[in-house]
Amino acid sequence: MPELPEVETIVKGLKKVLKGKVINSLECYYPGTIIYDTDIEATPFPAKVLELCRRGKYIIITLETDNAIIIHLRMTGKLVFDVLPSEPLQYERARIILHNSEVLHFIDIRTFGKIIICKQQNEEQYLPILGIEPFSKNFNANHLKAILKGKEASIKTVLLNQSIIAGLGNIYTCEILYRAGINPLMPAGKLSHKEIVEIVQQTLAVLSEAISLGGTSISDYRNIDDKTGSFQDFLKVYQKQFCPLGHKIERIKQSGRSTFFCPICQKNKS
């Protein structure tokens, strides 16, 4: 599933090809992929794209009308930009057509992805409760310490919770905890100040590196040129047999997801 760095990479790519352009229409090839807010007028297009941004793992396209388009790629969704229209491609569930005939294909094998067209004032209704953005100034050790205080759930589970921190998924939480030297089973509320500082620093480091490498392409993720990212070449524990120091990686289940960690490198120091 695309996580923060992948969605950020996609938004960067989309800005180059969509910003300032006029969307002429949306076509849906799989029932339920496009959702229309009930307040949306019968003909929301043409509409000019004003701005694009990311919130958690969501892409938000602000239109010059009072409307917005929210895209959630979920498990296998990808957006591919094309200068020429064509017949619907394999697994293409919807497409956004621009006034100059350029096309943004929404391809999604598993069909969980959604494109929502809503009034800007109704955006919140279509987004889950999203916690702090890692690149916001609120994401610091003191703030995180206050959030984690008293939490008995494991730190891995807490980091995955989108209503606490927005944008982290399974791959990056495994990598962040490895680099921070923290056991993923550690109760979140028991972490020392030093360990929380370490989590904040490693979160920013891992996410920044991943963004600079265009994200991680383990399965379906592609950027809008349909090219892969390359952070998968720099993963240290996720889906690995051995950590960089040669210790055997353990694989356990937490909140239904596989956690990869090194029991030697990730022995808590406190």
Judged by beta carbon, residue 193 or residue 251, the one nearer Zn ion is: 251
Distance in Å, CB of 240 to Zn ion, minimum:
10
CB 238 within 8 A of CB 260: yes
Q: Directed axis angle between helix 193-212 and helix 141-148, to 10°?
A: 120
36 DSSP β-pair partners: 117
Respond yes or no: is residue 179 known to be catalytic: no
Q: Which residues bind Zn ion (CB under 5 A)?
A: 243, 245, 247, 262, 264-265
Distance in Å, CB of 246 to Zn ion, minimum:
7
Distance in Å, CB of 243 to Zn ion, minimum:
3
Judged by beta carbon, residue 52 or residue 262, the one nearer Zn ion is: 262
Tokens, residue 59: 């892409």
CA-CA distance, 175 to 171, in Å (whole number)? 6
Judged by beta carbon, residue 146 or residue 252, the one nearer Zn ion is: 252
Judged by beta carbon, residue 168 or residue 243, the one nearer Zn ion is: 243
Torsion sign across C-alpha atoms 6, 10, 11, 13? positive
CA-CA distance, 223 to 174, in Å (whole number)? 23
> Which of 21, 55, 151, 257 does the annotation list as catalytic?
257
Our CA angle for 147, 153, 154, nearest 5°, is 100
Q: Directed axis angle between helix 4-18 and helix 193-212, to 10°?
A: 40
Distance in Å, CB of 160 to Zn ion, minimum:
22
CB 146 within 8 A of CB 188: no
Respond yes or no: is residue 57 known to be catalytic: yes
Judged by beta carbon, residue 43 or residue 241, the one nearer Zn ion is: 241
Q: How far is CA 14 from CA 8, 20, 82, 105, in A?
A: 10, 11, 12, 12
Distance in Å, CB of 175 to Zn ion, minimum:
13
Respond yes or no: is residue 46 known to be catalytic: no
Tokens, residue 46: 């043409």
Distance in Å, CB of 186 to Zn ion, minimum:
16
> Which of 5, 6, 44, 57 does the annotation list as catalytic?
57
> Helix, strand or coil for residue 106?
strand
Respond yes or no: is residue 74 known to be catalytic: no
Judged by beta carbon, residue 12 or residue 247, the one nearer Zn ion is: 247
Q: What is the three-state SS of 28-79?
A: ECCCCCEEECCCCCCCCCCEEEEEEEEECCEEEEEECCCEEEEEECCCCEEE
Catalytic residues: 2-3, 57, 257
